[in-house]
Amino acid sequence: MFVSLLLTLREGLEAALIVGIVFGYLRRIGQMQYSRMAWAGVLVAVGLSAALAVGITAVGAKLEGNAEKLFEGTTMILAVGVLTWMIFWMRSQASQFKTSLESDVRKAVTRGADWGLFALTFLSVFREGVETALFLGATAFQTTALDTLVGAILGLTIAVVIGCLIYASTVRLDVRLFFDVTSLLLLVFAAGLFMHGIHEFQEVGVLPEIIADVWNTSAIISKESVAGQFLRTLVGYTPAPSLVEVLSYIGYWLVTLGAVRWWTARLTAKQVAVPAE
């Protein structure tokens, strides 16, 4: 439940900030007559995202045997890829995100394009929704559907409340700090999810184990215990991982941390180059 709450809180707040920027700008320039189409884009995006999440879970529940394991493994690894990419993308866009979004709103209003605002809010929110749907679907394979649903509802509710308070200017939030902390937590979860995706492929013989049990900590924390189940969902804990699973976990972090270093250097170089121009 914690993971689905954290995920929907982060993604929900991203969506809420997008909506807040759009409607805040429309209010500031006195063009609230466009708000109906903007809201329509938001609602359609939310509806389609929810349908996608339900669809992924439903398909996984209907499959059996190797087909089920292949579907779950593919969904997990796809979710990890999408989430990891989006975390980097958001970091690269953070400094100019508000300015860019307001510019898009201004262009749509200048053209008198109701459908332009619909498309803008739909695509912005649906991007977050697809990411959330994939991750919730992957999370549901590791825990119960009820736990995932309860966590998702709580996370979205908190995100909406915080978004409304920010829009009403009654609360200030260090958005950068919030996204930095949640990004780190989600990367920890993504690393574990990636390892579980590899495990699913091993179970159907697509990938080898090389060494079946590198270690076994079942006597300390069994996977059936409350602590084991919590750690499994949060950080990908498995008491007896294969060598390929261990290498995949380490490999994910090596690639991710290397990408963080490269991305940070790239952004720093851009920031230094701008004043020089």
Which positions of the chain have pLDDT values less than 50?
276-277
- How do the domains of the chain map onto residue ranges? 2-276
Predicted confidence (pLDDT) per residue in 80-95, tens digit: 998 898 888 777 776 6
Angle (nearest 5°) at CA 259 between 254 and 265:
130
Residue 225 confidence (pLDDT): 86
The one-letter code for the residue type at 98 is K
Show the 3-state SS of the chain.
Answer: CHHHHHHHHHHHHHHHHHHHHHHHHHHHCCCHHHHHHHHHHHHHHHHHHHHHHHHHHHHHHHCCHHHHHHHHHHHHHHHHHHHHHHHHHHHHHCCCHHHHHHHHHHHHHHCCCHHHHHHHHHHHHHHHHHHHHHHHHHHHCCCCHHHHHHHHHHHHHHHHHHHHHHHCCCCCCCHHHHHHHHHHHHHHHHHHHHHHHHHHHHHCCCCCCCCCCCCCCCCCCCCCCHHHHHHHHHHCCCCCCCHHHHHHHHHHHHHHHHHHHHHHHHHHHHHHHHHHC
Round to whole Å and give the CA distance between 265 and 135: 29
Predicted confidence (pLDDT) per residue in 230-248, tens digit: 888 778 888 999 999 999 9
Comparing CA positions, the residue from 123, 97, 126, 114 lying closest to residue 26 is 114
User: By the 8 A CB rule, do 232 and 56 touch?
Assistant: no
The one-letter code for the residue type at 269 is A
Instruction: Report the Cα 49 to chain-centroid distance in Å.
Output: 12
Residue 277 confidence (pLDDT): 45
Round to whole Å and give the CA distance between 1 and 149: 8
Predicted confidence (pLDDT) per residue in 122-151, tens digit: 998 998 888 888 888 888 777 777 788 888
User: By the 8 A CB rule, do 252 and 190 touch?
Assistant: yes
Sort 144 into a burial class: Cβ within 10 Å, 0-12 / 13-18 / 19+.
Answer: exposed
User: By the 8 A CB rule, do 253 and 191 touch?
Assistant: yes
Round to whole Å and give the CA distance between 20 and 28: 12
**What's the token pair of residue 59?**
């398909």
Kindly report the number of other CB atoms within 10 A of residue 122's CB atom.
22
Comparing CA positions, the residue from 240, 52, 252 lying closest to residue 138 is 52
Residue 177 confidence (pLDDT): 78
